[in-house]
Structure 1
Amino acid sequence: MERLEAVLRRGDVLPAAASSPVGHDVRTGKGVRNSAPPVTQLAAAHPGLAGEVVATGRTAGLLICWMSVVLVPTWTAVDHLVVPELAGEFLVVRLLGEIPMLLALAAMWRWPVGRRRPEGLALFVLAVVQLEIAWMLAVVPDREYYLPGFTLAIFGSGCFMAARPRWTGALVGLSWAFLGLSMLGWQDLGAADLVAVTMVIGTASVIAMLTHLRRHALQVREILTRLRLEREQQRTGVLLAQLERLSHEDPLTGLANRRRWDAELAAACTRARARGEVLSVVLVDLDHFKDVNDRHGHAGGDDALRAVAGLLSARVRGGDLVARLGGDELAVLLPDADAGRAAEIAEQLRREARTLRPDGFGAEEISLSLGVAAARGGDAYPLELMSRADEQLYRAKQTRNAVGAAGRRAAPQPAARPEPQPAG
């Protein structure tokens, strides 16, 4: 029976964690699979799924209660046909039984306990039904008409109760206890009657338990499938977010890449034309970048690019965009900044770049040339704006370590004199 129950309830617990699926038994030296938490514990960690599980259990409990409250009194018709002399007494017993069943139904319908423990209330109602029928079996001469009613509650629990199988097991145990007490009052109980009753109730008990076990296994499997699907959906969402980020990010500097720059610049120009706003672009180029790579190697050149990227990111506003367009060329998009403001920012970046000193670099070894262009309203078009900024960058690169902007002379700055490197 234990093996059969294990087969029927297969999937009732989650597989062990993938990170540590197998433990070690120090006594035998053999690997053992770690125990996993019950599926109900995992469902409880997912509010939406846990709410569905609770709602399903409550709905099943309400169905059992309603069926019991409605159907039990209708068996009075059987009483009038089989034992008319006891029909009145049986009706009183049935009506008395309705009181606790109606209270349980009201509790499940309105009270918090009905949401927390619907299976307990359903078990209580079915136990009342079994107690009534067990008493009737002790006083009626023709028990074959009432034994089917005694099995109906057991079948109802196995087929309808949305809870762990132990609740049907509890009802089966109570039913056998009530039946045993009832048989103490039976008259002329023969061996044939005892075998027949045991077979009928025993068969009903086995069928109900197997049915509940199988239903529960299917329910658990469905929950596990949904949880795995949800986990995969979350994992896929994270991967898609990472891919989206990587598709718009330069892997070396962490800045926006050319693809994102083009999209953001086009959107900013569209907004500027629609609203009559101003925006500016600053193109940035590292001076003598080939010499930097020759002196410090490509790793040193990468360090220089990262240092400049960090400077640009730290000095712009939250709504601005810093991007690496390729090689040693970077760019800054400044919405709502006119040419004067953009030139001031570019000049500040030029001055502070002279203070950058990555590991192995000398003082003032890094310098920048910057080109500034601005547009307002209907003049804001990406290609034209980038072309004018590139022209100003070309002017600045004539002298190096300078800012080129319309109406601004790119004055030559003191040449960078890198510190001598230690010999050897």
Structure 2
Amino acid sequence: MTIIDTLKRWAGEDWQVRDTALRRNVRVLGLAAWVLLILNVAHVGVFVLLRFDDPIRDAWARQIALAHGGMAVVAVTIAVLARRVHGAAELTRWHRGLPLVAAVLIIAWAIAVTVIDQAVTASVNAYVNAVIAMAIVYLFRPATALIVLTLAWAGLAGVLGWMVSDPAQLATSRMNAVTATALAMLISVLSWRHFVRTELLQRALAESNRQLQAQRAELERLANKDALTGLLNRREFERQAALELARARRLGSPLALFILDLDHFKAVNDTHGHAVGDQVLVEAATRMSRSIRQTDRLARWGGEEFVLLLPDTGCESASLLAEKLRHAVGDAPMPGMGSSVTVSIGAVVARGDDLPDWPVLLRMADEALYQAKREGRNRAFVRCLKSDRSSLAKNETR
């Protein structure tokens, strides 16, 4: 990969993280502004109290105090604005410009303090401290940092050329400023690239975790649900049925098990095709789901056969629900057919003390289904065990 390709890739990555970097800059700017305020107030207190016999030095102290006092006002303003921007839901152009404007103001102030210092010293410490601090505190794109720092050095070099008459002192000050500017640029670029890599890595990890969670949820759904109808599959139904049987035995509550079979379903596939047959299965599952409670367990048992477990349901309620389900499935035409499909239902109802084991309960419901089939289909045959006096309730088409 060439340098140009690398720079293009970096530019694309920079664009992806610019809003995150801005919010981070605003958050840090709010804290840094208060730190700057404390330093400004401390400088004002020190330099106001300083007294010199030399009028030049005395004037210098007053000017330094004034410069720090002005910067204290700016720092408070920056802190207030940063807090407002940090709480903004959307970032406007004005919001984006705040960190850059703050950086320019601070560097301009540092240049002014450096110029004031030339009255008593050749030091450019104020400028050095400002550009290094900006590079550490702020996250600027390398292009932006290069422009800001280049203009900062050019501004300082120009002002020093106007203020300093000694060529040796001028050259030393300018080169010290060059060194500080180059170091600040290096720090800025390294900090920015570290931030970009970290942010993109975190996003990639978050996206990977999201995909893994989605895949896990899908695998759990596929493991527990029938792929066609979205109902419980056989394995999950038996797992939940075991829990409900244990609960019914513990509480002595009634429980009903239905087996529902679509009548003459093979003829549907043979006449209309398997695609229409799948639509019929889905529609039948939907109609049954709408007719039961959220606490009931409905599953596709296999082919055109469904099972339904109803906690806290006695013989009379089971008989009424069986008729409701029979009408829900068979009273309206099925999609793709123009005609209806009927359903035969076999059910067994027992109370907790009389509940047989699961295989026996399932066999009883299956026998009840065959009884409904033998009597002509489109029927519900409900068998109630001992606690309901072994009564038989037949609900037939009239």
Q: Fold conserved (TM > 0.5)?
A: yes
* Superposed displacement of residue 5, structure 1: 10
**Structure-2 separation of matches of 1:251 and 1:319:** 21
1:93 maps to a residue whose letter is Q
Matched, 1:305 2:281: yes
**Structure-2 separation of matches of 1:239 and 1:335:** 32
Choose which of 124, 129, 152 in structure 2 pairs with 1:152. Answer: 129
Pairwise mapping of residues 18-37 of structure 1 onto structure 2 (< 5 A)? 37=15
Which residue in the other structure is 1:336 paired with? Answer: 312
Choose which of 168, 186, 195 in structure 2 pairs with 1:210. Answer: 186
- Secondary structure in 2 aligned to 1:255? coil
Choose which of 186, 200, 209 in structure 1 pairs with 2:164. Answer: 186
Considering fraction of residues, name the structure with more helix.
Answer: 2
* Superposed displacement of residue 226, structure 1: 1.4
Which residue in the other structure is 2:242 paired with? Answer: 266
Which residue in the other structure is 1:404 paired with? Answer: 381
2:301 maps to a residue whose letter is L
* Superposed displacement of residue 196, structure 1: 3.4
* Superposed displacement of residue 257, structure 1: 0.9
Q: Is the 8 A contact 1:368 1:401 kept in 2?
A: yes
Which residue in the other structure is 1:251 paired with? Answer: 227
* Superposed displacement of residue 343, structure 1: 1.4
**Structure-1 separation of matches of 2:6 and 2:42:** 37
Matched, 1:283 2:264: no
- Mean Cα displacement is larger for which, 229-238 or 172-181? 172-181
**Structure-1 separation of matches of 2:209 and 2:294:** 32
Matched, 1:11 2:24: no
Pairwise mapping of residues 159-198 of structure 1 onto structure 2 (< 5 A)? 159-165=136-142, 166=144, 169-170=147-148, 172-187=150-165, 189-190=166-167, 192-198=168-174
RMSD of aligned Cα (Å): 4.0
**Structure-1 separation of matches of 2:156 and 2:329:** 90
**Structure-2 separation of matches of 1:315 and 1:201:** 81
Q: Is the 8 A contact 1:285 1:369 kept in 2?
A: yes
Q: Is the 8 A contact 1:58 1:119 kept in 2?
A: no
2:316 maps to a residue whose letter is G
Q: Is the 8 A contact 1:134 1:150 kept in 2?
A: no
Runs of 5+ consecutive residues of structure 1 not aligned to the other structure: 15-35, 45-49, 415-424
1:374 maps to a residue whose letter is V
Choose which of 78, 82, 85 in structure 2 pairs with 1:113. Answer: 82
**Structure-2 separation of matches of 1:115 and 1:7:** 37
Q: Deviations over 1:7-46 (max 9, x none)?
A: 67953534xxxxxxxxxxxxxxxxxxxxx954224x49xx
- Secondary structure in 2 aligned to 1:253? coil
* Superposed displacement of residue 305, structure 1: 2.9
Q: In the superposition, relative to structure 1, how do residues 126 and 273 fare at CA in structure 2: closer, same or farther (>3 Å)?
A: farther
Runs of 5+ consecutive residues of structure 2 not aligned to the other structure: 86-97, 384-390
Q: Is the 8 A contact 1:123 1:167 kept in 2?
A: no
Q: In the superposition, relative to structure 1, how do residues 361 and 184 fare at CA in structure 2: closer, same or farther (>3 Å)?
A: closer
**Structure-2 separation of matches of 1:388 and 1:150:** 91
Matched, 1:371 2:371: no
- Secondary structure in 1 aligned to 2:226? coil
Give the count of matched residue pairs. Answer: 375
Which residue in the other structure is 1:322 paired with? Answer: 298
Q: Is the 8 A contact 1:58 1:115 kept in 2?
A: no
